[in-house]
Structure 1
Amino acid sequence: MKAVFPTNSELGLNGAVYGHFGSAPFFVLVDTESSKHEVMVNHDKDHLHGHCQPLKALGDIKADVIVVGGIGKGALNKLAAAKIKVHRAVEGTVAHNLDLLKTGALSEFTIDQTCSGHTIDGSCAH
């Protein structure tokens, strides 16, 4: 399975999972079977709030699942339409959340858990 973790750094598995999908500067793409990973740039980072284009943001990344701290309703709906599941991250690194994803310990995002705005640092304002 291909999992994508939005992050604020290029630290790969050691980076912290970012609090908002659309404004994350980078994505860490992880093959959950081998744990091989690569860091990719968010191609839609500078969009207006409510205008996130998640498939554009992912670029050439073919993901099965996204693990993130927060996401907007529009982005969640667009990813669902593309058959990409979105799981809610816990505070911590990509590696920690990857372990939780593999054990089924991360819940899927629902529409009522989506972000309604951004804080100054780009995190979700729930």
Structure 2
Amino acid sequence: MVNCKDMWDEELERLRREKLEEMLQQSEKEGGEKLKERIVVPTEDENGLNARLSEHFGRAPYFIVVDLNEDGTVANVQAVPNESEHFGGFGRPPDCILQLKPNAVITYGMGPRALSIFQSKGVAVLRTNASTVKEVVEAYTKGLLEELTEGCHHAHHR
């Protein structure tokens, strides 16, 4: 017997992955400066560089993806909705973010499981006290952010 819910879930996951891949392809530059790094920042809104950081990493409604050129200038900014299991979708937030192929995730803090997942995949997790993505990018390009070495065990990370 065919389970319609499973088929629907699989189709939604396929479409989500296609959309992420399309967004990644759009962010690659043709010619010009080479892209250096990609950072991901959990936010409360989808306002690009002006987006406000989310207090809770895994429950952030959006992740702002910032591609940087070799000289540290911003090449591309895009908002990606958090479609993890926390928002009725699939997978844990770190798994969803890893599909974006970031070099670093910058946040107020995160739980130990998420931190461990990123560390095991070689993705830097950096701590910030900035209020907006623009402030995060400025601190990141100046080398002012410190590595997050411990996950916190409560919902309020700031």
Rg larger for: 2
Match of 1:39 in 2: 79
On the 8 A contact 2:82/2:93 being kept in 1, the answer is: no
Bigger shift: residues 18-27 or 2-11: 18-27
Rounded to whole Å, the distance in 2 between the matches of 1:100 and 1:81 is: 25
Rounded to whole Å, the distance in 2 between the matches of 1:68 and 1:95 is: 13
**What percent of counterpart residues are identical?**
27
Match of 1:87 in 2: 126
Task: Tell me the TM-score normalised to structure 2 length.
Answer: 0.66
Secondary structure (helix, strand or coil) at the match of 2:114 reads helix
| Unmatched runs of 5 consecutive residues or more in structure 1 | none
Rounded to whole Å, the distance in 1 between the matches of 2:106 and 2:147 is: 9
- Asked if 1:27 is matched to 2:99, the reply is no
Across the aligned residues of Structure 1 and Structure 2, the Cα RMSD in angstroms comes to: 2.0
Deviations 1:43-82 (A, max 9, x none): 22517xxx94511x32631111000111000100000001
Match of 2:54 in 1: 18
- Determine which structure has the larger helix proportion and give its number: 2
Moved over 4 A (4+): none
Task: Name which structure has the greater RCO, CA cutoff 8 Å, separation 6+.
Answer: 1
Rounded to whole Å, the distance in 2 between the matches of 1:27 and 1:107 is: 20
Secondary structure (helix, strand or coil) at the match of 1:29 reads strand
* Among 70, 75, 78, the residue aligned to 2:114: 75
